[in-house]
Amino acid sequence: MSELLPYGRQSIDDADIAAVVRALKSDFLTSGPEVEAFEREFSAYVGARHAIAMSNATTALHVAMRISGVGPGDRVLTSPNTFLASANCAAYVGAIPDFVDVHPVSHNLDAEALRSTWSDDVKAVVAVAYAGQSADMPRIAEFARSRSAAVIEDASHGTGGGFVHDGRAWKLGGHPWADMTVFSFHPVKTLTTGEGGMLVTDNDEFARQARLLRSHGVERDRGRFQGFGTDTGPLGERGPWVYEMQDLGYNYRITDLQCALGRSQLAKLDGFIARRREIVEAYNTAFADLEWLSVPGTLREADRDHVSWHLYTVEIDFERIGRTRTAVMQALRDQGVGSQVLYIPVHLQPWYRQTYGYTPGKCPVAEQFYARCLSLPLYPLLTDEDVARVAKAVRALV
């Protein structure tokens, strides 16, 4: 059997390794100049005023909940077609995670379903960019903000991607329809720092709070203490060593080693995205005549050239081809092709069913998509021969 092609993997080269080695040889291993430089470069890339690097996207979502003022008695709406963290972040602060069914084409939170699911206790909406494709952020924001709810964009899948609105292209994280946007840099994502995440915002106060909560709620304003005596600390001390805990924060910091890798990866991000789009188009062409398989679509045709594809997820009519999904995955694996199911709808997970009483039928479109979905290999290191091998293995299923 040929070497297994996984559904996703990192793309690391000698430049990435050299960047990490330089950081290792520097004076800072964490909370140093590489973190600050990565934040500056990332905010400039997406077009946001502030970028705050964190240990991962889950911690960034948790901080976004805190900044939004979400707490016990509040409800947070998100998509069921996502990783657990998009909903768990609400539970972390004592709020109720709830779910809005998805659009049948984009498989993202449906703006129309949002209206019918709404209740007066909703405090925030977490709109996920599944597979890299943006949710309908302008429509979601218009409705949510008219109800005084915060809008958080979970773009963990969509680093570098965007969408078109009123003839203008917008980057995820760099548009006006989200109060905060969160990105993930896990190894299978478009850009990696090993583990890591980013919160971006145009709101100065949100950025200040995010930096505070990232590091134990501690504030160190060295500029205030220049002169050794013009300011006092919490116990009346005077000096440049003084720090003040202003809030109950966390240790959600990221290291200089990770950010050195992130900066190197960011320089190649456009190339990564372009290669992913080439592979998606090759797959779409190869599968176009298969009546039992549906390829990914976009909410708007104009968005096709702006999506940063993280996943290539097809829908397969398993009953029609007379095979279970498990059997299909094994048949592909026998040909050296890995695959994955992304995702089991969050509201059907045992903890959510036991805690909130959610049952099958709550989000029928998402549940139907789950029953048919399968993600195939997609990452920049795939060669044209690899892509052809995947296509051949899929076509051989019937």
Q: What is the per-residue pLDDT across 274-286, written as a single tens digit (0 to 9) for each?
A: 999 999 999 999 9
Given a cut of 90, is residue 175 above it in pLDDT? Answer: yes
Given a cut of 70, is residue 333 above it in pLDDT? Answer: yes
One-letter-per-residue 3-state SS of 189-221: CCCCCCCCEEEEECCHHHHHHHHHHHECCEECC
Q: Is 165 helix (H, G, I), strand (E, B) or coil?
A: strand
Residue range 350-367: mean pLDDT, rounded: 98
- The closest of 189, 214, 227, 205 to 63, measured between CA atoms, is 214
CB 127 within 8 A of CB 102: no
Question: What angle do helix axes 57-67 and 85-92 make, rounded to 10 degrees?
Answer: 40
CB 53 within 8 A of CB 254: yes
More confident residue, 229 or 327: 327
Does this model's pTM top 0.85? My answer is yes
Q: What pLDDT does 232 receive?
A: 63
pLDDT single digits (tens) 6-20: 999 999 999 999 999
One-letter-per-residue 3-state SS of 272-322: HHHHHHHHHHHHHHHHCCCCCEECCCCCCHHHCCCCCCCCEEEEECHHHHC
Q: Which domains does the chain have, with CATH numbers?
A: 14-266 (3.40.640.10), 269-395 (3.90.1150.10)
Q: Could you tell me the two tokens for 225? A: 């203490």
pLDDT single digits (tens) 178-199: 999 999 999 999 999 999 999 9
Q: How far apart are CA 377 and CA 313, in angstroms?
A: 9
Burial class (CB in 10 A: 0-12, 13-18, 19+), 340: middle
Given a cut of 50, is residue 229 above it in pLDDT? Answer: no
Residue range 136-142: mean pLDDT, rounded: 98
Q: What pLDDT does 127 receive?
A: 98
Question: What angle do helix axes 14-24 and 256-266 make, rounded to 10 degrees?
Answer: 150
Q: What pLDDT does 242 receive?
A: 83
Residue range 297-313: mean pLDDT, rounded: 95
Q: How far apart are CA 373 and CA 315, in angstroms?
A: 4
The residue with tokens 């399968």 is 374
As a whole number, the mean pLDDT across the chain is 95
Q: Is 268 helix (H, G, I), strand (E, B) or coil?
A: coil
Q: Could you tell me the two tokens for 232? A: 């006092």
- The closest of 156, 181, 149 to 64, measured between CA atoms, is 181
pLDDT single digits (tens) 50-100: 999 999 999 999 999 999 999 999 999 999 999 999 999 999 999 999 999
Q: What pLDDT does 139 receive?
A: 98
The residue with tokens 């930096």 is 211
Residue range 258-270: mean pLDDT, rounded: 98
Residues in the chain: 398
Half-sphere exposure of 393 (CA within 13 A, CB side): 24
What percent of the chain is predicted at pLDDT more than 90? 92
Residue environment code for 81-110, b if the CB has 16+ CB neighbours within 10 A, otherwise e: bbbbbbbbbbbbbebbbbbbbbbeebbbbb
